[in-house]
Structure 1
């Protein structure tokens, strides 16, 4: 085969305007550009001729194992070829015209005239079974198949084509896509998505559409007034012929990115595109009207010639590494197939060097395997004790070939099912390099078993939520929760989040994950056992954690081994660390011998302060959380014997409900000598750095005034700090209610300690559950309600209903009030309640 001197350069992708006026002249930068600057490379691979007869063979399609095509000699007949066995045969040897075959997963579909009009049939190659897909009195053409779902054109009884979809092997009638009286044609399907062209002006304005038959979602891909036709789809990519340039070009659409891109855009015709994964093939006509096959690989991206003469090559199709087309280089039309070789545009990594097992030389005959994301890339067997491979140019190495998709991934080394150290990050071109390896068969420890509460964005996690425990980026355990807001249990017979550990894991931290989000808490491994670990997740994007190391002293002396250091963010405990050496914690470097103290942070933590504690003694060193800057930080900790003055945040507000706009006076009730305040009023209106006076909203004074403009229920948060660096945060959920609905007309005063309360009348809908207590600081205590039927106290949840005169037993850390909204405008004259001393009082 010769390669024509057609030249190229690869240009960047261009986002196209969604609508282009008919008279506009728009230039596009294509992915595949044919210029005089560089020779188009031949796609690496092997070409084979599949048919040799004098009969016309055309319109081939290909899947992972089979090729199908139409053989024409007066009538079309559908054939297939098995690339594994070499078997080829005719599908249906009957007196009918069979055309337009397609194939997926060994199922061939085609249109068939055996009943005079054109119907859709299928043939399952592995099962040797022919099945009518849809047979009736209308004409149906151009089927396409994905697994067992088939789409086709149906002319109906009005000569307006619709697109039907039906499952192979069922007797169900087809479902028609968006029947709207507009002509539709050339459907294709892959997975849940169908693509087709639609004549939008009933003249010549063909546009490309996609439709998801599971979600019933339709997307108009093109809106250009020129012709777009013959779409094909694979995964997230749709390709088609596009005439907006005045010549035919190939365009593509990325479904996930919702982005349209020119694949070609020049003065020659580029038609008949097909796509598989990241590879697009098409037919290109030169100035003498000779046609050739080209391909672009979007992953690199790079343009290749697949077949450039002699003769004409047209109608290509592609599946993974197989390209087929029809070819007339020997006179008649025949089918050719091209098998692509894997493209490795980067220099491979070639490893050799010392290898030890438990720090002793590995024996001769040890097999070492290199993997990327669990996929084996190469293996080597040691031929001398304690060493693998060779540095010589004629020696053997552990060779790892890479491509663009491997950038950023890890090369790991394995032997006998054990992962060695270190792992190598793929950054680009590799090289011949000495890489010492060590494999440790670690002693197992008893499993870790976790249970506790779990919230996501402040709400109890839903039943079915999956929690994962991760050590060094590897999932080591998972659990699907069966009760809202709780996972596992404290008893041996209860389920738990189980994590298997070894002695090598001692000192490391467990990160708890829900989807892509990490909990605000971590756990440092010191031994096995069952532990309560309450977890809180936020969907605010996480920032990189802080990692601390340094000296640690108590009263000027080295802290002993086993000293527990607690890290807090604005007085909220985040993580703990147990020292492994006297007088220090953690070490610097990429692979520290002594793990560092890791403090996870989120965007919401920016501006807050990390402090370090041993019991109630606070170190003088702190760290203000920033969005950028260094994350591995030396922080020497000196703990005195006297605790720093603490602080406890609290506040009140009046009024707490009313119609918008509602102006509220907030009053600081914090103890511990606060000197700084940060208010979050819950409506996100006032910027954090807003200037303020006594007449305006502000964040940074003790007693601000704030106006709520919109209806809603608002959570209010106060963070108070004093001159000694101590801080505390108080959150009161649903504290302010703004709206025209029923407003609180009464309240119950709650005192520190246990309170015995009840309400005298029926509460308003939506205000009649235990959620009205959500702002009370219960310090981990449950709220109880007396069940008069069973004579038992039951634990309340936020959805538990409160009825008139029901007895409620609730604990509070501070004095507070609970607003009451009744179901009518009548007020009760007496509200009975008892504080811890059981002295009765009355509230009018």
Structure 2
């Protein structure tokens, strides 16, 4: 079991205490552990997916795909199998990755794994709906873009083999595919757009500065890193207006851009150095307000930011584990009303105990079930929760959701005592008191061989 803390932006800073006090910052962990994670992760529709590299019981290297759903606060393993895994992407319940030889497609709902074989090495797959796009290496430092339709089973070449051109860095959104085409002779790179709705029509973004980092497409907007006056700068192209421009030009090295709706993120390495450091700061640009802000706080050495909806995720490159952080730029936290409680599969709303000095509630739970509780405490300096169960083989988790939408999810090991219990305390910070309003608590049956008894209580001071 791993420590998982999820925090959405709020005006109130809280401290959560399993055993020792820990400050909860604006950006919090989605995944923390000793398994290595690199650039192999994706973020769409408020779901973050990543690959973990670890050793099995025989000390052999293995990889697995995991996901975290912001709406439910649940982290799950999607698949763990012997195939090597690189460059993961997903769309709905479909996941694609490469083992640097071929492309794999996994349908989580059906539990079906499909191997898309080819005579040449394949890599960098992306997916949107029924369409998978990837790079196929054809030798002599050349590559082409291929496409596969899951429903029809049809393979289609997006680019043709050439002695003078190489295509790579594909991205997809709806019926548009964008990629980089390199002129091997002239050593120049351009961005091309492939329109599936117009029978494979190809167009080029004209007068593009030298492309340094892969393009990303969302709707009718494309972002990439281009070199402008010797500075690496984030650029955007609007396919509707056919205009391109730097997003926020500075004399800094801006890399790893991503876009979702009206928000763009990138990694900023500061004043352009001769040699880029390992990791930088995460910046967010709002196209509506034309404002840019640093969202990674005082943390340094961050990598590969992604944006989706009102959230940003990135990897912390200060350790080999590459912990994943989540940041919300919502003006206010999420409101978990009673209508929202069906969002976790198997959730069962339970009676709402009257908030007293100390409340204890007894229940039973099965594998995969989630039971909800709510309380509205009076103004206090701290709020404590305790979950206990009796079966040593059972593993339960407890998620606590504040009125502003902060979420903390804990398992038995997180309070440093493996005793079939979870105990946490939320205390005030400075002159601020514990947030007023309704708090929600979710008890989840992570590992339950048979129906398990448990009890839960909370009390305030």
Q: TM-score range by the shorter chain?
A: 0.5 to 0.7
Q: Distance in 2 between matches of 1:244 and 1:327?
A: 28
1:108 aligns with 2:91: no
Match of residue 233, structure 2, among 249, 255, 274: 249
Q: Distance in 2 between matches of 1:148 and 1:342?
A: 35
- The Cα shift of 1:177 comes to 2.9
State the partner residue of 1:49: 29
Q: Deviations over 1:173-221 (max 9, x none)?
A: 2333355441011100001111100112435311111111120222211
State the partner residue of 2:195: 212
CA contact (8 A) 1:161 1:184 kept: yes
| Structure 1 residues 80 and 140: alpha-carbon distance in aligned structure 2, compared to 1, 3 A threshold | same
TM-score (norm 1): 0.33
State the partner residue of 2:65: 78
- Please show how residues 713-724 of structure 1 align to structure 2 within 5 Å: none
Match of residue 43, structure 2, among 62, 75, 85: 62
1:292 aligns with 2:281: yes
| Structure 1 residues 176 and 331: alpha-carbon distance in aligned structure 2, compared to 1, 3 A threshold | closer
Q: Distance in 2 between matches of 1:162 and 1:202?
A: 16
Q: Distance in 1 between matches of 2:114 and 2:73?
A: 24
State the partner residue of 1:313: 302
State the partner residue of 2:136: 154
Rg larger in structure:
1
| Structure 1 residues 126 and 96: alpha-carbon distance in aligned structure 2, compared to 1, 3 A threshold | closer
Q: Deviations over 1:251-288 (max 9, x none)?
A: 01000000011113222100000011111111000248
Match of residue 303, structure 1, among 278, 292, 310: 292
Q: Distance in 2 between matches of 1:135 and 1:160?
A: 19
| Structure 1 residues 338 and 102: alpha-carbon distance in aligned structure 2, compared to 1, 3 A threshold | same
- The Cα shift of 1:68 comes to 0.8
CA contact (8 A) 1:197 1:228 kept: no
- Please show how residues 539-688 of structure 1 align to structure 2 within 5 Å: none
Indicate the SS of the match to 2:230. coil
State the partner residue of 1:279: 263
- The Cα shift of 1:129 comes to 3.2
- The Cα shift of 1:46 comes to 4.8
Q: Deviations over 1:457-487 (max 9, x none)?
A: xxxxxxxxxxxxxxxxxxxxxxxxxxxxxxx
Q: Distance in 2 between matches of 1:50 and 1:140?
A: 30
Q: Deviations over 1:597-634 (max 9, x none)?
A: xxxxxxxxxxxxxxxxxxxxxxxxxxxxxxxxxxxxxx
Structure 2's unaligned 5+ residue stretches are 1-24, 55-60, 333-461
Q: Distance in 1 between matches of 2:320 and 2:103?
A: 32
TM-score (norm 2): 0.59
Q: Distance in 2 between matches of 1:266 and 1:83?
A: 33
State the partner residue of 2:185: 202
1:177 aligns with 2:164: no
CA contact (8 A) 2:85 2:97 kept: yes
CA contact (8 A) 2:258 2:265 kept: yes
State the partner residue of 2:313: 324
Q: Distance in 2 between matches of 1:322 and 1:232?
A: 17
Indicate the SS of the match to 2:225. strand
Indicate the SS of the match to 2:169. strand
- The Cα shift of 1:224 comes to 4.5
Length, aligned pairs only: 295
State the partner residue of 2:389: none
| Structure 1 residues 314 and 208: alpha-carbon distance in aligned structure 2, compared to 1, 3 A threshold | same
Indicate the SS of the match to 1:214. helix
